[in-house]
Amino acid sequence: DLQLLKSKFRGSMLGVLTGDCLGSPYENEDLLTNGMKLVLQKSLDKLEGPAYKAPVMQFTDDSAMTRCVAESLVERGELDLIDLAKRFVKSYYQEPNRGYGAGVVTVFQKLRGNKFKDVLLPAREQFNGQGSWGNGGAMRVTPIALFAHQNYENLLDLTRKATEITHTHKIGIDGAILQAIAVQQCLHLDPNNALNVCDFIEELICKMDKIEQDEEGLDLAEAQPYKRKLNVMRKLISEDKEGPRSEEVIRHLGNNIVALHSVPTAIFCFLRAQKPITGIETENPLRRAIQYAITLGGDTDTIGSMAGALAGAFYGEDKFSSNLLKHCEASAEFAHLGERLYDTVSTQ
């Protein structure tokens, strides 16, 4: 169904944006103990309610870099690393106060300094040569997943390459890969049928098992860390009818800027939100996914954004409240970028 697929393209780009806009005010707040959870509930209720005038909620680096990836793919018709690197740098220098990671700014400075002669070198030099394991690759990967959704091997290859402009640590790259293949799975599922959560995780485990095995020998502290997290996730989601307590989710999956401690968490939030969650009052499973992700605290914009991308890719555009979208900066532009990606993919 092509209409549905187009709606999913628009929806996943809107998910990136809205999760980011809604999550960023709560970064590193403790939402579990101090009544902030209720503040969030009321704020989202109001945003979805009758129109009222307020300054738009601004997006951060997550959406800024996602927009660069989408625009580059649409305008070049392929992954062009130099073009993409130039867009990242230009976008950063135009709006440096979008909340970028502390380390990645050095990459931008060096790229500009060497005039993009070696676009991969600055990232390799990060953190004494071990590369960044931040979630910056994963947070911006959605357009790659959309662009390459018909070809799994290509999706892996493009994700690796696009990530390596800033993140070369295996944890950073595989986090981006995990998010990309999860978006792809969402894209290919029918939202009119109940999602089989265990099958969804099982499929991710199979894929990450292969990916992490192929990369063995790069001496990580722990072998196959993403596969292990996915196994933990499967346990967390199936053990308890009520669902695990948020403290348990944070303890086992994490909620910080490390890709390993945020990508599995975002996937968990999307899957958990298939069913009602105590304390999150909404009938809308897409809003539930984003709201739940934010209540876990920590890196709320990024985990909210990645959970939103998954929910948007699964449900499509219809589940987004039009009132809420009016309060998010550049929402029409992000939906349109999803559509342009759809057009690019379908005319190739």
User: DSSP of 162-208, one letter per residue?
Assistant: HHTTT--SHHHHHHHHHHHHHHHHHHTS-TTS---HHHHHHHHHHHH
Cβ-contact 199, 20 below 8 angstroms: no
By CB under 5 A, residue 99 contacts Mg ion: yes
By CB under 6 A, residue 19 contacts ligand R7I: no
Instruction: Rule CB under 6 A: choose which of 164, 174, 212, 299 binds ligand R7I.
Output: 299
d(CA 63, CA 278): 29
By CB under 6 A, residue 136 contacts ligand R7I: yes
d(CA 303, CA 97): 20
Q: Which does residue 132 bind out of Mg ion, ligand R7I, none, counting CB within 5 to 8 angstroms by kind?
A: ligand R7I
By CB under 6 A, residue 21 contacts ligand R7I: no
By CB under 6 A, residue 25 contacts ligand R7I: no
- Nearer to Mg ion by Cβ, of 237 and 250: the residue is 250
CA dihedral 330, 331, 334, 338 (to 10 degrees): -160
Stretch that binds Mg ion, among 28-36, 95-103, 314-322, 326-334 (CB under 5 A): 95-103
User: Rounded to 5 degrees, what are φ and ψ at 312?
Assistant: -65, -35
Percentages of the chain per state (helix, strand, coil), in multiples of 5: 65, 0, 30
Instruction: Rule CB under 5 A: choose which of 163, 265, 302, 344 binds Mg ion.
Output: 302
Q: Which does residue 174 bind out of Mg ion, ligand R7I, none, counting CB within 5 to 8 angstroms by kind?
A: none
Stretch that binds ligand R7I, among 60-68, 265-273, 317-325, 329-337 (CB under 6 A): 60-68
Cβ-contact 139, 302 below 8 angstroms: yes
By CB under 6 A, residue 133 contacts ligand R7I: yes
Q: Which residue has the tokens 């307020």?
A: 54
Partners of residue 134 on adjacent β-strands = 258
Cα end-to-end span (Å), the chain: 18
CA dihedral 85, 89, 95, 99 (to 10 degrees): 70
Q: How far is the CB of 69 from ligand R7I (least distance, A)?
A: 13
Stretch that binds ligand R7I, among 40-48, 178-186, 207-215, 298-306 (CB under 6 A): 298-306
Instruction: Rule CB under 5 A: choose which of 83, 174, 299, 317 binds Mg ion.
Output: 299
d(CA 287, CA 263): 18
- Nearer to ligand R7I by Cβ, of 195 and 257: the residue is 257
Q: How far is the CB of 182 from ligand R7I (least distance, A)?
A: 18
Q: Which does residue 135 bind out of Mg ion, ligand R7I, none, counting CB within 5 to 8 angstroms by kind?
A: ligand R7I
d(CA 240, CA 135): 29
By CB under 6 A, residue 175 contacts ligand R7I: no
- Nearer to ligand R7I by Cβ, of 52 and 127: the residue is 127
By CB under 6 A, residue 26 contacts ligand R7I: no
By CB under 6 A, residue 163 contacts ligand R7I: no
Residues lying near ligand R7I in the complex (CB under 6 A):
60-62, 99, 101-104, 127, 130, 132-136, 139, 169, 257, 299, 301-302
